[in-house]
Amino acid sequence: MKNSHENITLPTFEVALVQNTGNEPTHQTISLNDFIKQHNSGLILYFYPKDSTAGCTVQATDFTALADKFAQKGYTILGVSRDSIKSHHNFICKKELSIGLISDTDEKLCQHFGVIQEKMMYGKTHLGVVRSTFVFDKNGIMTASFRNIKSKEHAQTLLDIL
């Protein structure tokens, strides 16, 4: 996992956040800066290609399993994909995820972080989300970024680094 310090700021536009706040996931529109202030914590923003796929499920369930340990270190975790609010709702329910998921159907957040790139699959190139993670402190300053990471053991490796 490569750690680099890029100079990307949190966007000022609002995003659609789905999270399990009780018996059932709910969604709201929020700015990431406001989210950090409300939680008084740093933010781990990780981008993944698609809900309910093998690698993305591993990553989401690993982050859920370690969410309390990240919280002890002062971080809240949010996953981001281009899936719909309904897809995120289903993914959270099916896999009992405790982390929030951002629905970026218009790819605005993906574009802001530059995570949509050419990928090769079955011998053909296509544009897709490159699995990436960005770490922000509680002032919204990026402290680390990791691009083109593998889903397996990423959450534990990141926790160890922090």
Positions marked catalytic: 56
d(C-alpha 47, C-alpha 79), whole Å: 6
d(C-alpha 142, C-alpha 9), whole Å: 7
**3-state DSSP assignment of residue 91:** helix
Residue 60: phi and psi, rounded to 5, are -65, -40
d(C-alpha 120, C-alpha 132), whole Å: 17
Q: What is the DSSP letter of 152?
A: T
Number of CB atoms found within 10 A of residue 53's CB: 14
Q: What is the DSSP letter of 162?
A: -
**Type and span of the H or E element at 3:** none
